[in-house]
Amino acid sequence: MKPLDLVEIAVEAPLHNTLTYRVPPELSEKLQIGSRVEISLGKRKSQGVVIGESKNSTLKKIKSIDGITSDHALDLKTLQWLKWLSQYYLHPLGQVYSMAFAPTATIRKRKSKNPSPTFLKDEAIEKRPAPVPNAEQAAAINEIVGAARKNIFETFLLF
């Protein structure tokens, strides 16, 4: 497989079209269709998924991909299915593709003496009793769980 030079990227932004980016030489051997990448979108950084090679771009200035953000790539069958989902639900392609990847952790340092994050104490959560469903809720739960155990997939309307 020959290295990619220009690629079409579905950007994780409310855009319904793809954008063309240049593949830098240091990424040309690692990058493949379905890879999740970091790109510059205007003045900010964004994520996107490589969905294909760009052919005959007429653009004069093309930005380069900043890096690859995931070790695995989506296969062609998954890309096709996600494209169908995007069209069916009229949702931007890049945002649909990004949901197929595990979220990337963003760590921000605080400007304080104690940079470690503070979390809710588990004790406060553990002291609360577990919610008990009423009779109607229990019946709905039993019906849904029973159908799932029998591999019956259907729609349930809850009010």
pLDDT exceeds 80 at position 87: yes
Q: In the structure, what pLDDT confidence band is assigned to residue 106 with cuts at 50, 70 and 90?
A: very low
- Whether 90 shows a pLDDT value over 80: the answer reads yes
Q: Band the pLDDT of 108: cuts 50, 70, 90.
A: very low
Most confident of the ranges 51-55, 59-63, 68-72, 77-81: 77-81
The mean pLDDT of 32-44, rounded to a whole number, is 93
Is residue 110 scored above 50 in pLDDT? no
Exposure string (b/e) for 36-57, b if CB count within 10 Å is 16 or more? bbbbebeeeebbbbbbeebeee
How confident is the model over 115-143, as pLDDT tens digits? Answer: 554 444 455 555 667 789 999 999 999 99
Whether 53 has a pLDDT exceeding 50, the answer reads yes
Query: Computed over its alpha carbons, how large is the radius of gyration of the chain?
Result: 22
Non-local CB neighbours of 104 within 8 Å, separated by 6+ positions: 47, 69, 70
How far is it, in rounded angstroms, from Cα 41 to Cα 135? Answer: 52
pLDDT the model gives residue 70: 84
Beta bridge partners of 6: 22
| CA contacts within 13 A on the Cβ side of 97 | 32
Exposure b/e, 69-86, CB count within 10 A at least 16 = b = ebeebbeeeebeebeeeb
Given a cut of 80, whether residue 82 has pLDDT beyond it is yes
The mean pLDDT of 29-55, rounded to a whole number, is 92
Q: How many residues does the chain have?
A: 159
Is the pLDDT higher at 2 or at 134? 134
Q: List the beta strands (DSSP E) in the chain.
A: 6-11, 19-22, 36-41, 44-53, 67-68
